[in-house]
Amino acid sequence: MTTLHASAAPLPFQRILHPSDFSEDSHTGLIHAVKLAVAARGELSIMHIDPDVPRADFEDFPQVRPLLERWGLLPHGSPREQVADLGIAIKKTRTVAKHRTDAILQYLAKHPADLLVMATHQYEGLARWQHESVAEPVARGSHMATLFVPAQVEGFVVKNSGQPKLRRVLVPVSAEYSPQLAIDTTAQLASALGCDNLTVIVVQVGDDHTLHSLHYPIKTGWLWHTMACQGNVVEVILAMGKDFDVDLIVMTTSKQHTLLDLMRGSTTERVLRGARCPLLALPI
């Protein structure tokens, strides 16, 4: 294992897109999107898609300023212009489209982003065919970094205070999929969020050769645990996520190449369907 002092590199997500459907599940995704935009001092675009006609309550579009006020980042009753004092830009857009996946991908083609933050529902078997899946096909079609926030999961941002709750992170690695990217991004995210006490569990299913070739950033209060396990990759990752009660899973992922991949989903997608915490997927 090689250790290096933690890099001061900024969070590599300056432009963030969060598709919202006004639901409570989507609100949890919004909380994470806003927190990351503040941490990156970047740009947050919030997108809503109506299937037929624009909804009459567009003014109820997710409000960012009340959230920032509750977190103590803005004074109560602050004007819209004061948001810029935090070094962030907020944009809101709405569109009418029958197919949400296509609409989001078309938007991204014209307005590139560095990170998608999406709420997702976890279905298996027949239920996956009975519910429209948006998060996975958008992430697959855009081939860009995506933070998936499962429904009914609080995640790693406390909604009432905006404080990070990133204590333990699970990073599954493979020699095939740029494992150093997952390590570096985890360190950058933790640094940007101001996490002083962090445990990162780095696991490889199979031999441990890759674990010894990685560089692990050093910072007071950070612990890096490495381990090699045997078994089904998805089952091992989900079991470790539960056993260690992790707050986030960070994985590199690649495009699917076979018909079986398309039917079953990538390893990352299959982990997502069973994860009880947010998952950050990093494409290579």
pLDDT of residue 127: 33
Q: By mean pLDDT, which of 35-49, 77-91, 129-143 is the weakest?
A: 129-143
**Helices (runs of H) and strands (runs of E) counted in the chain:** 10, 12
Extents of the domains making up the chain: 2-8+159-251+260-283, 15-150
Distance CA 228, CA 226 (A): 7
Residues 173-195, mean pLDDT to the nearest whole number? 93
Q: Judge whether 2-8+159-251+260-283 and 15-150 match in fold.
A: yes
pLDDT of residue 209: 86
In the sheet with 115-120, reading across from the earlier edge strand, the strands are 89-96, 43-50, 15-20, 115-120, 146-150, 279-283, 248-253, 168-172, 198-205, 222-229
Residues 71-75, mean pLDDT to the nearest whole number? 95
Average pLDDT, the chain: 85
Query: What amino acid is encoded at 136 in this protein?
Result: E
Q: Which fold has domain 2-8+159-251+260-283?
A: Rossmann fold (3.40.50)
Q: What three-state secondary structure class fits 26?
A: helix
pLDDT of residue 258: 46
Residues 242-248, mean pLDDT to the nearest whole number? 96
Q: Is the pLDDT of residue 51 over 80?
A: no
Q: Is the pLDDT of residue 129 over 60?
A: no
Q: Work out the pLDDT band at 175, boundaries 50, 70, 90.
A: confident
CATH code for the part of the protein at 15-150: 3.40.50.620
Instruction: Output the CA–CA distances (angstroms, integers) from residue 283 to 104, 122, 138, 186, 279, in the order listed.
Output: 18, 21, 13, 14, 13
Residue 122, both tokens:
């976890």
pLDDT of residue 153: 87
Distance CA 162, CA 86 (A): 14
Any idea which residue has 């599940």 for tokens?
Answer: 25
Element (H, E) at 186: helix 179-192
> How much of the chain exceeds pLDDT 70, in percent?
84
- Kindly report, residue by residue over 10-28, the tens digit of the pLDDT: 788 999 999 987 777 678 8
pLDDT of residue 224: 97
* CA geometry: angle 4, 14, 31, nearest 5 deg: 100
Residue 25, both tokens:
């599940």
